[in-house]
Amino acid sequence: MKSIKNEAAAKCPNHCEPFDVEYWSLVSADQDPDLKTAILGGELNLVQCPECGTFFHHDGDLIYFDAPAELLVFVFSEKDRRREPELLARMQKDYELIKNTLLKQLQMDYPPVSVFGLEALKNILQKEETDLYESEAVAAAAADMGFQIVRLKPSYARANHFPFYVPAPKENNSANGYAVAASQVLQNGLNSLLLRNFVDHMSEEGALPPSVL
Ligand SMILES: [Zn+2]
């Protein structure tokens, strides 16, 4: 899916005359990594008022989509916060539509996330980067110990606060097998809250094995 630009009238916070701007309304992160970088840098949809010179973010609705990461975020305008129930209902409809048309071949099986404002989207992406970094440390530590590495389904890992990568069990692929392998990596000195949380959940009675890719 391609990223999309829209046109709208931007309103300067200093109450100057509105002016026309082009802004990104759909960011397809795997196609346009530069736009993801711009979100993290706070530069996406940043506009300048021609009258007073002030820079500000155009507060338009935006969809952020990263297919490989299984991350779909609806970003609503800050000023619409009061209309949250109505917006969530609309999001659900839009999601069903996108899922069954534009993205049909992807067979999406994870729900969308919603936030208000670009700052909140930036926070999600920063958290994502931190978790990915920690997950890579888990993978490296596990590989050093001779474990095979398994990639968890990203939306499943994110929703459960698990690392994106975990060591594969050496013997049986039960939840307990995963818990044993992961706790060996922790005992070897790796400090990872994501992996500790994974161990805790996999050790619970009746736990199901993780959802892997
Ligand atoms: Zn202005």
Tens-digit pLDDT string for the chain (213 aa): 889 999 999 999 999 999 999 999 999 999 999 999 999 999 999 999 999 999 999 988 999 999 999 999 999 998 898 999 999 999 999 899 888 887 777 788 899 999 999 999 999 999 999 999 999 999 999 999 999 999 999 999 999 999 999 999 988 889 999 999 999 999 999 999 999 999 999 999 999 999 998
139 shares a domain with 108: no
Measured in angstroms, how far is the CA atom of residue 6 from the centroid of ligand 1?
21
* Residue 154 and residue 164 in contact, taking contact as beta carbons nearer than 8 Å: yes
Domain count, the chain: 2
Final residue of a structural domain among 116, 149, 178? 116
The pTM for the full model equals: 0.89
Measured in angstroms, how far is the CA atom of residue 13 from the centroid of ligand 1?
7
Residue 70 in domain: yes
Measured in angstroms, how far is the CA atom of residue 21 from the centroid of ligand 1?
13
Residue 122 in domain: no
Measured in angstroms, how far is the CA atom of residue 77 from the centroid of ligand 1?
19
Measured in angstroms, how far is the CA atom of residue 17 from the centroid of ligand 1?
7
Give the pLDDT of residue 59: 87
**Closest to 134 (Cα-Cα) out of 71, 196, 180:** 196
Measured CA to CA, the distance from residue 162 to residue 42 in angstroms comes to: 28
57 shares a domain with 35: yes
Domain interval for residue 169: 128-202
